[in-house]
A and B are shown apart, each in its own frame.
Chain A
Amino acid sequence: MSKPKVAFYWCASCGGCEEAVVDLAEDILKVVGAVDIVFWPVALDFKREDVEAMADNSLAVAFINGAIRSSEQHEMVELLRRKAGLVVAFGSCAHLGGIPGLANTFRRADLIDEAYHKSLSVTDGNGTEPLEKTEVPEGTLTLPKLWDTVKTLDQVIKVDYYLPGCPPPVNLINGAIGSILKNELPPPGSVLAPDMALCEECERRATKPDKMAQREFLRPHQIKADPEKCLLAQGLLCLGPVTRKGCGAACVKGNMPCTGCMGPTSHVVDFGTKALTAMASLVDSNDDREIAAILDQIADPVGTFYRYSLPASLLHRSYQPEHAKGEK
């Protein structure tokens, strides 16, 4: 019997998810022994034409990382969806929109303006912007279109499973590949990680007070955190209470607060407002002005609470009334 065929693909991503596959270390040899990797642009020289030539459904699984924000990414994931029996959204960006999803606080026009005109590193100042079509003597050159709104993978194609994390922890990748090979998968649509909050697996949990009362919210550079005590109780915005476990509390072990890359448990729709609720509830004051002053110490609520999940949030992106008008 031939080995199952597997594809890895990246969309709007940083490359960290590709790195996570390499982090499988010797285990990658087991993976390579058990499957045929037929498409993996970061490592192997196969092209889009090669995927197009494959029969529909001939891939066992496509692991897709990165958010979707261009016409090219949209075409590629639709192509992979046709060719693959299973699609796994790999990592925070494909799962929830991830860091690139924070671009949803801007409009495309602003992004282009910043990148091609305003940024200090732009020096030639000849006003060039990327065009979708450019005529040259040899013919027409084309570029993909950048979308105005960054999307999660499941806002664009049907997704069968999700591997959370920024990037997904090695043990979860191994577990996912193992259960796919053994055909022991949970119900479709599942997130392939335990459905419990991170505090549950955190070694500092015993030091987390039952009732917390915070008058101060600190950023990591403002405090030399005690390496044993609960970080939240020390005033750092640790999102462990609302984040799915499965990473082994990697950041907390490094004395850094959890920023929520694993996303929410299945009980939560909108990670950001849930995290916001958890943090606001700690405030030790009943006076409106004092409450506001304490909460003002939290810089950038959107970037803090939706760091990995803005496109998957209930609002998806910042509200631009002119969009609403333009759409008529």
Chain B
Amino acid sequence: MSDKDTNQKPFEPRIVAFFCNWCTYTAADLAGTARMTYAPNVRVIRVMCSGRLDPQFILTALRQGADGVLIGGCHPGDCHYQEGNYKALRRFTLLKRLLREMGIEDERVQLEWIAASEGDKVQKVINRITEDVRRLGPLHLEPEALDRATEALLPDQTPAVAEGGAL
């Protein structure tokens, strides 16, 4: 169904990045104006604060075809809203344990503090997560893939069951 299912083409990771408006997104802008090149695998979504990041967004990205998720926020102490990045850190810490229990490899979901002036760090972090995820290979979580996986184990089953209202 998607490009990552074809065996011929080399695997190109798809990574969704949630960057906070005040630090990391500005840094990504800076990297852009400074013409720094980095892996083209990342789709950036701007959020007002890393503390706005509902873990449901992360799982939705993975569910809808991302192979990895990068979260970028201001360094501790630098949050535009004082506390947002600490909230993000608390959630992220527990979410990582949950994801580990669910079999999702650590490198697929990463959190980095990147200040507005750190364009070079944006470059470095994006290149690193792209390589990490490339090494892990594609994450097959599309609803279809999941049902095909079930079906593959059930050769005598009639059509794959439809995904319900869970989304």
B153 in the interface (beta carbon within 8 A): yes
Q: Which of A279, A281, A312, A324 is in CB contact (< 8 Å) with B166?
A: A312
User: Contacts A189-B165, A281-B90: A273 and B7 contacting too (C-beta < 8 A)?
Assistant: no
Closest Cβ of chain A to B158, distance in Å, is: 9
Residues of B within 8 A of A281 (CB): 87, 90-91
**Residues of B contacting A274 in the complex (Cβ-Cβ under 8 angstroms):** 54-56
Residues of B within 8 A of A318 (CB): 101-103
Asked whether, in the complex, the Cβ of A155 is within 8 Å of the Cβ of B161, the reply is: yes
Return the CB mask of A262-283 against B: 1 if under 8 Å, else 0: 0000001110111011011101
Contacts of B152 in A (CB 8 A): 323, 326-327
Q: Flag if B149 contacts A326 (CB, 8 Å).
A: yes
Q: Which residues of A contact B146 (CB under 8 A)?
A: 149, 316-317
What are the residues of chain B within 8 A of A277 when measuring CB–CB? 54-55, 91
Question: Interface code B154-167, partner A: CB below 8 Å = 1, 0 otherwise?
Answer: 10110001111111
Task: For the complex, give the distance between the alpha carbons of A199 and B133 in Å.
Answer: 41
- Contact yes or no, B140 A314, CB < 8 A: no
Q: Is the CB of A105 within 8 A of B164?
A: no
Interface residue count on the A side (C-beta < 8 Å): 56
Chain A residue contacts of B102, Cβ below 8 A: 105, 302, 315, 318-319
Q: Are B101 and A301 in contact (CB under 8 A)?
A: yes
Given the known inter-chain contacts A281-B90, A292-B93, A312-B166, please indicate yes or no for A319 contacting B154, CB distance below 8 A. no
Q: Does A273 lie within 8 Å of B95, measured CB to CB?
A: yes
The reply on B45 being an interface residue by CB < 8 A is: no
A18 within 8 A of B: no
| Least CB distance, A304 to chain B, in whole angstroms | 9
Bound state CA distance, A288 and B54, in angstroms? 19
Roughly how many angstroms separate A276 CA and B164 CA in the complex, as a whole number?
24
A280 CA to B55 CA in the complex, in Å? 11
**Known A-B contacts A71-B157, A315-B63, A328-B7; A301 and B94 likewise in contact (beta carbons under 8 Å):** yes
Does B139 interact with chain A (Cβ within 8 Å)? yes
Task: Tally chain B residues at the interface, Cβ within 8 Å.
Answer: 47
Q: Is A327 within 8 A of B98, CB to CB?
A: no
Interface residues of B in 39-56 (CB under 8 A from A): 54-56
- A276 vs chain B, min Cβ distance (A): 5
A74 interfacial by beta-carbon distance below 8 Å:
yes
Smallest CB–CB gap between A157 and chain B, Å?
8
Residues in chain B near residue A288, CB distance under 8 A: 89, 93
Q: Are A327 and B56 in contact (CB under 8 A)?
A: no
Give complex CA distance A269, B167 in Å. 6
Contact B54 A286 (CB under 8 A): no
Residue A298 is within 8 A (CB to CB) of chain B in the complex? yes
**Complex CA–CA separation, A147 to B104 (angstroms):** 22
With beta carbons under 8 angstroms apart, the residue of B156, B161, B167 that contacts A145 is B156
CB-defined contacts of B128 to chain A, threshold 8 Å: none
Q: Do B145 and A324 touch across chains, with their CB atoms under 8 A apart?
A: yes
B148 in the interface (beta carbon within 8 A): yes
Given A324-B140, A326-B149, A327-B149, A269 contacting B89 (CB threshold 8 A): no
Residues facing A in B116-156 (CB within 8 A) are: 137-141, 145-146, 148-150, 152-154, 156
Asked if A324 and B153 sit within 8 Å, CB to CB, the answer is: no
CB closest residue in chain A, given B165: A154
A276 and B98 contact, CB distance less than 8 A: yes
Give the most central of B55, B104, B139: most A CB within 10 Å: B55
What is the 8 Å Cβ interface bit string for chain A, positions 36-62, against chain B (1 contact, 0 not)?
000000000000000000000000000
Which B residues are within 8 Å of any A CB, using their own CB? 5, 7, 54-56, 58-60, 62-63, 76, 86-87, 89-91, 93-95, 97-98, 101-104, 137-141, 145-146, 148-150, 152-154, 156-157, 161-167
14 A–B contacts from the bound complex (CB under 8 Å): A105-B101, A132-B156, A155-B164, A272-B98, A286-B76, A291-B93, A295-B97, A313-B166, A314-B60, A316-B166, A318-B103, A319-B104, A326-B153, A327-B149
